[in-house]
Amino acid sequence: MTVAAAKAARPGLDAPFTKYALSSAYDEMFSPDGTVRAHYRTLHTALAALPPEELYRRQQACELSFLHQGITFTVYSDKQATERIIPTDLIPRLITADEWAHIEKGLKQRIHALNLFLKDIYNDGRVLKDGLIPRSMIYGSKHYRREMRGLSVPHDAYVNVCGTDLIRCENGRFAVLEDNLRVPSGVSYMLTGRDVVRRAFPDLFQAMRVRPIDQYPRELLATLRSLVPFHEDASIAVLTPGIFNSAFFEHAFLARQMGVELVEGRDLLVNDNVVYARTTSGLKRIDVIYRRIDDDFIDPLIFRGDSALGVPGLFNAYRAGNVVIANALGTGVADDKAIYTYVPRLIRYYLSEEPILDQIDTFRCREKNSLSHVLANLDTLVVKAVGESGGYGMLVGPHATKAQRENFAEKIKADPENYIAQPTIQLSTAPTFVEGGIEARHIDLRPFILHGEETRLVPGAFTRVALKRGSLVVNSSQGGGSKDTWVIGDGA
Protein backbone atom coordinates (compact mmCIF):
# COMPACT_ATOMS: atom_id res chain seq x y z
CA MET A 1 0.00 0.00 0.00
CA THR A 2 2.80 2.41 0.88
CA VAL A 3 4.45 1.55 -2.40
CA ALA A 4 1.26 2.29 -4.29
CA ALA A 5 0.85 5.58 -2.48
CA ALA A 6 4.38 6.62 -3.28
CA LYS A 7 3.78 5.84 -6.95
CA ALA A 8 0.48 7.70 -7.06
CA ALA A 9 0.25 10.26 -9.82
CA ARG A 10 0.70 13.70 -8.29
CA PRO A 11 -1.27 16.76 -9.30
CA GLY A 12 0.63 19.12 -11.57
CA LEU A 13 3.46 16.63 -12.05
CA ASP A 14 2.44 13.22 -13.30
CA ALA A 15 0.22 12.21 -16.19
CA PRO A 16 -2.73 12.43 -16.52
CA PHE A 17 -2.72 15.20 -13.89
CA THR A 18 0.08 17.34 -15.34
CA LYS A 19 -2.19 20.34 -15.72
CA TYR A 20 -4.05 19.76 -12.44
CA ALA A 21 -3.62 22.94 -10.40
CA LEU A 22 -4.54 23.00 -6.73
CA SER A 23 -5.73 26.37 -5.51
CA SER A 24 -7.05 27.77 -2.26
CA ALA A 25 -10.32 25.97 -2.99
CA TYR A 26 -10.99 22.60 -1.39
CA ASP A 27 -10.15 19.90 -3.87
CA GLU A 28 -12.33 16.82 -3.85
CA MET A 29 -9.59 14.42 -4.90
CA PHE A 30 -6.37 15.79 -3.52
CA SER A 31 -5.41 17.09 -0.09
CA PRO A 32 -3.53 20.39 -0.18
CA ASP A 33 -0.22 18.46 0.02
CA GLY A 34 -1.07 16.53 -3.14
CA THR A 35 -1.91 13.19 -1.53
CA VAL A 36 -5.05 11.48 -2.70
CA ARG A 37 -8.03 11.54 -0.33
CA ALA A 38 -8.92 8.05 0.90
CA HIS A 39 -12.28 7.70 -0.81
CA TYR A 40 -10.85 8.84 -4.15
CA ARG A 41 -7.99 6.32 -4.24
CA THR A 42 -9.76 3.68 -6.31
CA LEU A 43 -10.88 6.22 -8.88
CA HIS A 44 -7.49 7.91 -8.92
CA THR A 45 -5.68 4.65 -9.56
CA ALA A 46 -8.10 3.78 -12.35
CA LEU A 47 -7.67 7.16 -14.03
CA ALA A 48 -3.90 7.06 -13.77
CA ALA A 49 -3.86 3.64 -15.36
CA LEU A 50 -5.88 4.66 -18.39
CA PRO A 51 -4.03 6.04 -21.42
CA PRO A 52 -5.24 9.53 -22.41
CA GLU A 53 -6.59 8.22 -25.74
CA GLU A 54 -8.80 5.80 -23.88
CA LEU A 55 -10.19 8.57 -21.66
CA TYR A 56 -10.82 10.64 -24.74
CA ARG A 57 -12.59 7.75 -26.43
CA ARG A 58 -14.85 7.21 -23.44
CA GLN A 59 -15.63 10.91 -23.22
CA GLN A 60 -16.60 10.86 -26.90
CA ALA A 61 -18.83 7.85 -26.30
CA CYS A 62 -20.53 9.70 -23.45
CA GLU A 63 -21.26 12.76 -25.55
CA LEU A 64 -22.56 10.73 -28.45
CA SER A 65 -24.85 8.86 -26.15
CA PHE A 66 -26.34 12.13 -24.88
CA LEU A 67 -26.82 13.45 -28.36
CA HIS A 68 -28.55 10.27 -29.47
CA GLN A 69 -30.85 10.27 -26.49
CA GLY A 70 -31.73 13.90 -27.15
CA ILE A 71 -30.77 14.98 -23.65
CA THR A 72 -30.58 18.68 -24.24
CA PHE A 73 -30.88 22.03 -22.57
CA THR A 74 -31.82 25.33 -24.15
CA VAL A 75 -29.65 28.34 -23.51
CA TYR A 76 -31.72 31.48 -23.94
CA SER A 77 -29.05 34.15 -24.13
CA ASP A 78 -26.83 32.24 -26.51
CA LYS A 79 -27.09 33.54 -30.06
CA GLN A 80 -25.28 30.59 -31.59
CA ALA A 81 -27.15 27.49 -30.57
CA THR A 82 -30.43 27.43 -28.76
CA GLU A 83 -30.50 23.75 -27.97
CA ARG A 84 -27.39 21.98 -26.85
CA ILE A 85 -26.40 18.94 -24.90
CA ILE A 86 -25.37 19.53 -21.37
CA PRO A 87 -21.70 18.69 -21.48
CA THR A 88 -21.34 15.77 -19.12
CA ASP A 89 -17.98 15.04 -17.71
CA LEU A 90 -16.69 11.52 -17.70
CA ILE A 91 -15.21 11.54 -14.23
CA PRO A 92 -17.68 10.98 -11.40
CA ARG A 93 -17.73 13.12 -8.31
CA LEU A 94 -17.55 11.09 -5.11
CA ILE A 95 -19.32 11.59 -1.81
CA THR A 96 -18.75 9.34 1.17
CA ALA A 97 -21.55 7.65 3.07
CA ASP A 98 -20.88 9.84 6.11
CA GLU A 99 -20.93 13.04 4.11
CA TRP A 100 -24.17 11.98 2.51
CA ALA A 101 -25.77 11.12 5.84
CA HIS A 102 -24.93 14.62 7.04
CA ILE A 103 -26.30 16.26 3.89
CA GLU A 104 -29.48 14.21 3.98
CA LYS A 105 -30.18 15.03 7.59
CA GLY A 106 -29.48 18.71 7.01
CA LEU A 107 -31.67 18.97 3.94
CA LYS A 108 -34.59 17.20 5.58
CA GLN A 109 -34.36 19.62 8.46
CA ARG A 110 -34.26 22.53 6.07
CA ILE A 111 -37.22 21.53 3.92
CA HIS A 112 -39.18 20.82 7.07
CA ALA A 113 -38.55 24.34 8.38
CA LEU A 114 -39.26 25.97 5.01
CA ASN A 115 -42.60 24.17 4.73
CA LEU A 116 -43.58 25.31 8.19
CA PHE A 117 -42.56 28.82 7.23
CA LEU A 118 -44.75 28.74 4.11
CA LYS A 119 -47.67 27.39 6.07
CA ASP A 120 -47.17 30.13 8.61
CA ILE A 121 -46.99 33.08 6.24
CA TYR A 122 -50.04 31.87 4.32
CA ASN A 123 -52.02 31.37 7.50
CA ASP A 124 -51.33 32.83 10.95
CA GLY A 125 -48.26 34.88 10.15
CA ARG A 126 -46.76 34.04 13.55
CA VAL A 127 -43.24 34.60 12.26
CA LEU A 128 -44.19 38.13 11.22
CA LYS A 129 -45.97 38.95 14.45
CA ASP A 130 -42.95 37.78 16.38
CA GLY A 131 -40.84 40.14 14.33
CA LEU A 132 -38.44 37.50 13.05
CA ILE A 133 -38.82 38.60 9.46
CA PRO A 134 -39.77 42.12 8.33
CA ARG A 135 -43.29 42.12 6.94
CA SER A 136 -42.32 44.23 3.96
CA MET A 137 -40.07 41.40 2.85
CA ILE A 138 -43.06 39.09 2.50
CA TYR A 139 -45.74 41.52 1.38
CA GLY A 140 -43.30 43.26 -0.93
CA SER A 141 -42.18 40.02 -2.56
CA LYS A 142 -43.43 39.45 -6.08
CA HIS A 143 -43.61 35.74 -5.31
CA TYR A 144 -46.00 36.12 -2.38
CA ARG A 145 -49.39 34.81 -3.54
CA ARG A 146 -52.22 36.31 -1.54
CA GLU A 147 -54.52 33.81 -3.26
CA MET A 148 -52.88 31.11 -1.15
CA ARG A 149 -53.87 32.70 2.14
CA GLY A 150 -55.96 30.38 4.26
CA LEU A 151 -55.77 27.54 1.74
CA SER A 152 -54.67 24.21 3.10
CA VAL A 153 -52.43 21.91 1.12
CA PRO A 154 -52.17 18.11 1.59
CA HIS A 155 -49.93 17.16 4.53
CA ASP A 156 -49.03 20.87 4.79
CA ALA A 157 -46.43 20.06 2.16
CA TYR A 158 -46.04 23.18 0.04
CA VAL A 159 -42.74 22.16 -1.49
CA ASN A 160 -42.97 18.66 -2.87
CA VAL A 161 -39.86 18.76 -5.01
CA CYS A 162 -36.93 20.83 -3.87
CA GLY A 163 -33.51 21.16 -5.44
CA THR A 164 -31.05 22.68 -3.01
CA ASP A 165 -27.69 23.96 -4.18
CA LEU A 166 -24.83 23.07 -1.91
CA ILE A 167 -21.20 23.92 -2.24
CA ARG A 168 -18.16 22.70 -0.40
CA CYS A 169 -16.26 25.58 1.14
CA GLU A 170 -12.53 25.94 1.59
CA ASN A 171 -12.80 24.35 5.04
CA GLY A 172 -14.21 21.19 3.45
CA ARG A 173 -17.68 21.65 4.91
CA PHE A 174 -20.83 21.65 2.82
CA ALA A 175 -22.89 24.82 2.87
CA VAL A 176 -26.23 25.69 1.33
CA LEU A 177 -25.99 28.27 -1.43
CA GLU A 178 -29.65 28.49 -2.32
CA ASP A 179 -32.92 26.63 -2.13
CA ASN A 180 -34.97 26.11 -5.28
CA LEU A 181 -38.53 25.68 -4.17
CA ARG A 182 -40.39 26.58 -7.34
CA VAL A 183 -39.72 24.31 -10.29
CA PRO A 184 -36.17 23.05 -9.79
CA SER A 185 -34.72 21.20 -12.75
CA GLY A 186 -31.72 18.99 -13.29
CA VAL A 187 -32.84 15.65 -11.95
CA SER A 188 -33.00 14.14 -15.43
CA TYR A 189 -29.31 14.93 -15.88
CA MET A 190 -28.60 13.18 -12.63
CA LEU A 191 -30.41 10.07 -13.91
CA THR A 192 -29.21 10.03 -17.49
CA GLY A 193 -25.68 11.02 -16.51
CA ARG A 194 -25.56 7.99 -14.27
CA ASP A 195 -26.45 5.62 -17.11
CA VAL A 196 -23.75 6.96 -19.33
CA VAL A 197 -20.95 7.27 -16.82
CA ARG A 198 -21.64 3.86 -15.33
CA ARG A 199 -21.07 2.39 -18.76
CA ALA A 200 -17.77 4.22 -19.03
CA PHE A 201 -16.49 2.71 -15.75
CA PRO A 202 -18.44 -0.51 -15.19
CA ASP A 203 -15.86 -2.22 -12.98
CA LEU A 204 -15.24 0.82 -10.87
CA PHE A 205 -18.96 1.30 -10.36
CA GLN A 206 -19.22 -2.25 -9.01
CA ALA A 207 -16.12 -2.03 -6.87
CA MET A 208 -17.10 1.24 -5.18
CA ARG A 209 -20.58 0.01 -4.30
CA VAL A 210 -22.19 3.16 -5.60
CA ARG A 211 -25.66 3.58 -4.15
CA PRO A 212 -28.44 3.44 -6.76
CA ILE A 213 -30.54 6.44 -7.79
CA ASP A 214 -32.69 4.92 -10.51
CA GLN A 215 -35.62 4.69 -8.08
CA TYR A 216 -36.07 8.48 -8.27
CA PRO A 217 -39.02 8.44 -10.72
CA ARG A 218 -40.77 5.84 -8.54
CA GLU A 219 -40.16 7.91 -5.45
CA LEU A 220 -41.44 11.02 -7.21
CA LEU A 221 -44.55 9.16 -8.28
CA ALA A 222 -45.10 7.90 -4.73
CA THR A 223 -44.70 11.44 -3.42
CA LEU A 224 -47.23 12.80 -5.90
CA ARG A 225 -49.64 9.97 -5.12
CA SER A 226 -49.36 10.60 -1.42
CA LEU A 227 -50.98 14.00 -1.98
CA VAL A 228 -54.41 12.51 -2.67
CA PRO A 229 -56.51 9.89 -0.93
CA PHE A 230 -57.00 6.67 -2.94
CA HIS A 231 -53.43 7.07 -4.19
CA GLU A 232 -53.35 4.01 -6.36
CA ASP A 233 -56.04 5.37 -8.68
CA ALA A 234 -54.75 8.92 -8.77
CA SER A 235 -54.41 10.24 -12.24
CA ILE A 236 -51.28 12.33 -12.54
CA ALA A 237 -49.93 14.63 -15.23
CA VAL A 238 -46.68 16.51 -15.75
CA LEU A 239 -47.52 20.03 -16.92
CA THR A 240 -44.83 21.51 -19.17
CA PRO A 241 -44.65 24.96 -20.76
CA GLY A 242 -43.88 23.16 -24.02
CA ILE A 243 -41.09 22.09 -26.29
CA PHE A 244 -39.37 25.46 -26.28
CA ASN A 245 -38.77 25.36 -22.56
CA SER A 246 -35.15 24.85 -21.57
CA ALA A 247 -36.01 21.80 -19.51
CA PHE A 248 -38.54 20.20 -21.87
CA PHE A 249 -36.40 17.13 -22.15
CA GLU A 250 -36.66 16.65 -18.43
CA HIS A 251 -40.43 17.06 -18.36
CA ALA A 252 -40.85 14.43 -21.06
CA PHE A 253 -38.30 12.19 -19.41
CA LEU A 254 -39.97 12.24 -16.01
CA ALA A 255 -43.45 11.71 -17.44
CA ARG A 256 -42.19 8.72 -19.40
CA GLN A 257 -40.31 7.27 -16.45
CA MET A 258 -43.33 7.61 -14.18
CA GLY A 259 -45.74 6.41 -16.85
CA VAL A 260 -47.99 9.45 -16.55
CA GLU A 261 -49.38 11.98 -19.02
CA LEU A 262 -47.18 14.80 -20.28
CA VAL A 263 -49.43 17.78 -20.97
CA GLU A 264 -49.19 21.40 -22.00
CA GLY A 265 -51.66 23.96 -20.71
CA ARG A 266 -53.76 23.71 -23.84
CA ASP A 267 -54.18 19.96 -23.28
CA LEU A 268 -56.03 20.60 -20.04
CA LEU A 269 -59.35 22.25 -19.40
CA VAL A 270 -61.40 23.06 -16.36
CA ASN A 271 -65.11 22.29 -16.43
CA ASP A 272 -67.34 22.77 -13.40
CA ASN A 273 -64.27 23.25 -11.23
CA VAL A 274 -62.68 19.93 -12.20
CA VAL A 275 -59.54 19.54 -14.30
CA TYR A 276 -59.57 17.29 -17.34
CA ALA A 277 -57.00 16.28 -19.91
CA ARG A 278 -58.12 16.07 -23.51
CA THR A 279 -57.14 12.64 -24.66
CA THR A 280 -57.83 10.72 -27.84
CA SER A 281 -60.52 8.82 -25.95
CA GLY A 282 -62.26 11.87 -24.50
CA LEU A 283 -61.79 13.86 -21.33
CA LYS A 284 -59.87 12.26 -18.49
CA ARG A 285 -59.98 13.67 -14.99
CA ILE A 286 -56.64 14.76 -13.51
CA ASP A 287 -56.05 14.56 -9.76
CA VAL A 288 -52.46 15.67 -9.36
CA ILE A 289 -50.46 18.03 -11.55
CA TYR A 290 -46.70 18.01 -11.28
CA ARG A 291 -46.28 21.43 -12.78
CA ARG A 292 -43.11 22.73 -14.34
CA ILE A 293 -44.63 26.13 -15.11
CA ASP A 294 -44.03 29.15 -12.93
CA ASP A 295 -46.86 30.51 -10.77
CA ASP A 296 -47.25 33.57 -12.95
CA PHE A 297 -48.17 31.54 -16.00
CA ILE A 298 -50.21 28.74 -14.55
CA ASP A 299 -53.69 30.28 -14.70
CA PRO A 300 -54.41 33.32 -16.88
CA LEU A 301 -57.67 33.93 -15.04
CA ILE A 302 -55.94 34.58 -11.73
CA PHE A 303 -52.32 35.39 -12.51
CA ARG A 304 -50.83 36.80 -15.71
CA GLY A 305 -53.70 37.28 -18.13
CA ASP A 306 -51.36 37.19 -21.11
CA SER A 307 -50.16 33.69 -20.32
CA ALA A 308 -50.82 31.27 -23.14
CA LEU A 309 -49.16 28.44 -21.23
CA GLY A 310 -51.59 28.00 -18.40
CA VAL A 311 -54.99 26.54 -17.75
CA PRO A 312 -57.84 29.03 -17.17
CA GLY A 313 -59.74 28.17 -14.01
CA LEU A 314 -57.04 25.83 -12.67
CA PHE A 315 -56.50 27.81 -9.51
CA ASN A 316 -60.16 27.76 -8.54
CA ALA A 317 -60.26 23.99 -9.05
CA TYR A 318 -57.18 23.83 -6.84
CA ARG A 319 -58.79 26.07 -4.23
CA ALA A 320 -61.83 23.81 -4.21
CA GLY A 321 -59.57 20.81 -3.57
CA ASN A 322 -60.48 19.12 -6.86
CA VAL A 323 -56.88 18.92 -7.99
CA VAL A 324 -53.49 19.05 -6.29
CA ILE A 325 -50.71 21.11 -7.78
CA ALA A 326 -47.14 20.22 -6.88
CA ASN A 327 -45.29 22.30 -5.90
CA ALA A 328 -47.97 24.42 -4.30
CA LEU A 329 -48.31 27.98 -5.55
CA GLY A 330 -46.47 30.76 -3.81
CA THR A 331 -43.44 28.77 -2.71
CA GLY A 332 -41.16 31.28 -4.42
CA VAL A 333 -41.50 33.64 -1.49
CA ALA A 334 -39.36 31.26 0.56
CA ASP A 335 -36.51 30.71 -1.89
CA ASP A 336 -36.05 34.38 -2.35
CA LYS A 337 -32.35 35.09 -1.81
CA ALA A 338 -33.19 37.55 0.95
CA ILE A 339 -35.26 35.01 2.89
CA TYR A 340 -32.28 32.65 2.54
CA THR A 341 -30.39 34.76 5.03
CA TYR A 342 -33.08 34.04 7.62
CA VAL A 343 -33.29 30.27 7.15
CA PRO A 344 -31.01 29.38 10.10
CA ARG A 345 -33.23 31.51 12.31
CA LEU A 346 -36.33 29.89 10.85
CA ILE A 347 -34.94 26.45 11.68
CA ARG A 348 -34.37 27.47 15.29
CA TYR A 349 -37.78 29.17 15.43
CA TYR A 350 -39.92 26.38 14.04
CA LEU A 351 -37.98 23.29 15.03
CA SER A 352 -36.02 24.41 18.10
CA GLU A 353 -32.98 22.79 16.53
CA GLU A 354 -29.60 24.07 15.48
CA PRO A 355 -29.14 24.15 11.70
CA ILE A 356 -27.21 21.09 10.57
CA LEU A 357 -25.90 22.55 7.32
CA ASP A 358 -23.84 25.73 7.12
CA GLN A 359 -24.75 28.54 4.83
CA ILE A 360 -22.91 31.46 3.32
CA ASP A 361 -22.59 34.78 5.17
CA THR A 362 -24.81 37.17 3.32
CA PHE A 363 -25.21 40.92 3.34
CA ARG A 364 -28.73 42.25 2.94
CA CYS A 365 -28.47 45.45 0.95
CA ARG A 366 -31.78 46.58 2.47
CA GLU A 367 -29.82 47.24 5.67
CA LYS A 368 -27.89 50.52 5.56
CA ASN A 369 -24.62 49.26 7.06
CA SER A 370 -24.54 46.27 4.76
CA LEU A 371 -25.31 48.44 1.75
CA SER A 372 -22.34 50.73 2.27
CA HIS A 373 -20.12 47.71 2.91
CA VAL A 374 -21.31 46.07 -0.28
CA LEU A 375 -20.84 49.16 -2.41
CA ALA A 376 -17.32 49.64 -1.03
CA ASN A 377 -16.33 46.03 -1.65
CA LEU A 378 -17.95 45.22 -4.97
CA ASP A 379 -14.66 43.88 -6.33
CA THR A 380 -14.62 41.00 -3.87
CA LEU A 381 -18.32 40.20 -3.60
CA VAL A 382 -20.93 38.33 -5.56
CA VAL A 383 -24.13 40.36 -5.77
CA LYS A 384 -27.45 38.77 -6.64
CA ALA A 385 -30.94 40.07 -7.31
CA VAL A 386 -33.18 38.46 -4.69
CA GLY A 387 -36.02 37.33 -6.93
CA GLU A 388 -33.95 35.94 -9.79
CA SER A 389 -32.59 32.48 -10.39
CA GLY A 390 -30.54 30.59 -12.93
CA GLY A 391 -27.55 32.93 -12.67
CA TYR A 392 -29.37 35.84 -14.27
CA GLY A 393 -29.11 39.33 -12.76
CA MET A 394 -25.92 38.74 -10.82
CA LEU A 395 -22.48 40.29 -10.60
CA VAL A 396 -19.36 38.31 -9.81
CA GLY A 397 -17.23 41.16 -8.50
CA PRO A 398 -13.71 39.80 -8.96
CA HIS A 399 -14.46 38.74 -12.54
CA ALA A 400 -16.31 41.87 -13.62
CA THR A 401 -14.82 44.89 -15.34
CA LYS A 402 -14.77 48.25 -13.60
CA ALA A 403 -17.53 49.50 -15.87
CA GLN A 404 -19.70 46.49 -15.12
CA ARG A 405 -19.23 47.04 -11.40
CA GLU A 406 -20.10 50.72 -11.63
CA ASN A 407 -23.11 49.93 -13.70
CA PHE A 408 -24.26 47.35 -11.18
CA ALA A 409 -23.63 49.69 -8.24
CA GLU A 410 -26.17 52.08 -9.74
CA LYS A 411 -28.73 49.30 -9.95
CA ILE A 412 -28.13 48.39 -6.31
CA LYS A 413 -28.45 52.00 -5.17
CA ALA A 414 -31.70 52.39 -7.09
CA ASP A 415 -33.30 49.39 -5.43
CA PRO A 416 -31.24 48.14 -2.47
CA GLU A 417 -34.02 45.88 -1.17
CA ASN A 418 -33.68 43.82 -4.29
CA TYR A 419 -30.06 42.77 -3.72
CA ILE A 420 -27.95 40.62 -1.47
CA ALA A 421 -24.20 40.10 -1.56
CA GLN A 422 -21.98 37.24 -0.57
CA PRO A 423 -18.23 36.89 -0.37
CA THR A 424 -16.80 35.19 -3.43
CA ILE A 425 -16.83 31.58 -2.39
CA GLN A 426 -14.20 29.29 -3.74
CA LEU A 427 -16.38 26.39 -4.84
CA SER A 428 -14.53 23.14 -4.36
CA THR A 429 -12.73 21.69 -7.37
CA ALA A 430 -12.92 18.19 -8.77
CA PRO A 431 -11.03 16.33 -11.47
CA THR A 432 -12.63 17.01 -14.81
CA PHE A 433 -11.68 15.73 -18.23
CA VAL A 434 -10.95 18.75 -20.44
CA GLU A 435 -8.92 19.22 -23.57
CA GLY A 436 -7.30 15.82 -23.41
CA GLY A 437 -6.20 15.99 -19.80
CA ILE A 438 -7.58 15.98 -16.30
CA GLU A 439 -7.82 19.37 -14.68
CA ALA A 440 -9.42 20.85 -11.58
CA ARG A 441 -12.74 22.58 -12.16
CA HIS A 442 -15.18 24.20 -9.74
CA ILE A 443 -18.33 22.26 -8.87
CA ASP A 444 -21.45 22.49 -6.76
CA LEU A 445 -24.05 19.92 -5.74
CA ARG A 446 -27.82 19.87 -6.20
CA PRO A 447 -29.57 17.02 -4.42
CA PHE A 448 -33.34 16.66 -4.86
CA ILE A 449 -35.64 16.33 -1.90
CA LEU A 450 -39.10 14.85 -2.24
CA HIS A 451 -41.64 15.83 0.34
CA GLY A 452 -45.20 14.55 0.54
CA GLU A 453 -46.55 12.38 3.28
CA GLU A 454 -42.91 11.66 4.06
CA THR A 455 -39.58 13.17 3.08
CA ARG A 456 -37.25 11.21 0.81
CA LEU A 457 -33.93 11.75 -0.90
CA VAL A 458 -32.27 9.48 -3.36
CA PRO A 459 -28.54 9.20 -2.64
CA GLY A 460 -27.32 11.24 -5.53
CA ALA A 461 -27.35 14.70 -6.97
CA PHE A 462 -26.88 16.82 -10.01
CA THR A 463 -23.29 18.05 -9.75
CA ARG A 464 -22.73 21.07 -11.91
CA VAL A 465 -19.28 21.95 -13.12
CA ALA A 466 -17.94 25.23 -14.44
CA LEU A 467 -16.05 24.05 -17.51
CA LYS A 468 -14.06 27.24 -18.03
CA ARG A 469 -10.84 27.27 -16.04
CA GLY A 470 -11.27 29.32 -12.86
CA SER A 471 -14.93 30.08 -13.53
CA LEU A 472 -17.31 29.90 -10.59
CA VAL A 473 -20.56 30.04 -12.55
CA VAL A 474 -21.96 26.54 -12.81
CA ASN A 475 -25.52 27.28 -14.00
CA SER A 476 -26.62 25.20 -16.93
CA SER A 477 -28.20 28.31 -18.42
CA GLN A 478 -24.77 29.95 -18.33
CA GLY A 479 -23.06 27.09 -20.07
CA GLY A 480 -22.08 24.89 -17.13
CA GLY A 481 -21.69 21.14 -17.43
CA SER A 482 -22.68 18.22 -15.29
CA LYS A 483 -20.96 15.39 -13.49
CA ASP A 484 -22.28 12.12 -12.25
CA THR A 485 -22.41 12.03 -8.47
CA TRP A 486 -21.50 8.79 -6.76
CA VAL A 487 -22.51 8.34 -3.18
CA ILE A 488 -20.35 5.44 -2.22
CA GLY A 489 -21.47 2.71 0.12
CA ASP A 490 -20.16 2.09 3.61
CA GLY A 491 -16.68 0.64 3.74
CA ALA A 492 -16.00 1.11 0.03
Partner 1 sequence: MFYSIRHVTRFRYSSPVRESVMELRMQPRSEGPQSLRSFQISTNPRAQLYAYTDHAGNAVYHFNVLRAHEELRIEAQAVVEIFRTQPLPEAADTLEWDRYNVYNLNDDHFDLIEPSRYTEFSPALKAFMAEHGLDQPKGDPLSALKALNHTIYESFEYVPGVTQVHSLIDHALEIRRGVCQDFAHIMIAVVRKWGVPARYVSGYLYHRPRSDGKRERSAQSADATHAWVEAYMPSLGWIGFDPTNDVLADERHIRAAVGRDYADVPPARGVLKGVAESELAIAVSVEPTSAPIRHEDFLRIARPMATPKPTPSMPERLYHQQQQQQQ
Q: Kindly report the backbone phi and psi dihedral angles of residue 450, in degrees, each rounded to the nearest multiple of 5, phi listed first.
A: -105, 135
Is residue 321 near partner 1 by the rule CB under 8 A?
no
Out of 42, 69, 96, 273, name the contact with partner 1 by CB under 8 A: 273
Stretch that binds partner 1, among 55-63, 314-322, 432-440, 479-487 (CB under 8 A): 314-322
Q: What is the DSSP string of 211-223?
A: PP-TTHHHHHHHH
Q: Which of residues 214-253 bind partner 1 (CB under 8 A)?
A: none
- Strand, helix or coil for residue 398: helix
Q: Kindly report the backbone phi and psi dihedral angles of residue 288, in degrees, each rounded to the nearest multiple of 5, phi listed first.
A: -130, 135
* Euclidean distance between CA atoms 479 and 474, whole angstroms: 7
* Euclidean distance between CA atoms 242 and 248, whole angstroms: 6
Q: Are 469 and 74 in contact (CB under 8 A)?
A: no
Is residue 147 near partner 1 by the rule CB under 8 A?
yes
Q: For the chain, how long is the longest CA-to-CA vector?
A: 76
Stretch that binds partner 1, among 17-25, 295-303, 394-402, 412-420 (CB under 8 A): 295-303
Is residue 149 near partner 1 by the rule CB under 8 A?
yes
Q: From the CB of 301, what's the least distance to partner 1, in Å?
A: 5
Q: From the CB of 144, what's the least distance to partner 1, in Å?
A: 9
Is residue 136 near partner 1 by the rule CB under 8 A?
yes
Sign of the CA dihedral with 14 first, then 15, 16, and 20 last: positive
Side-chain half-sphere exposure of 248, counting CA atoms within 13 A: 15
Angular region, 393: left φ>0, alpha ψ -120 to 50, beta rest:
left
Stretch that binds partner 1, among 34-42, 208-216, 239-247, 309-317 (CB under 8 A): 309-317
Out of 79, 150, 280, 282, name the contact with partner 1 by CB under 8 A: 150
Nearest to partner 1 of 298, 474 (CB atom) = 298
* Euclidean distance between CA atoms 309 and 249, whole angstroms: 17
Stretch that binds partner 1, among 80-88, 313-321, 351-359, 418-426 (CB under 8 A): 313-321
Is residue 332 near partner 1 by the rule CB under 8 A?
no
Q: From the CB of 135, what's the least distance to partner 1, in Å?
A: 4
Out of 205, 209, 312, 423, name the contact with partner 1 by CB under 8 A: 312
Contact residues for partner 1 (CB under 8 A)?
125, 128-129, 131, 135-136, 139-140, 146-147, 149-150, 269-273, 300-302, 305, 312-313, 316, 319-320
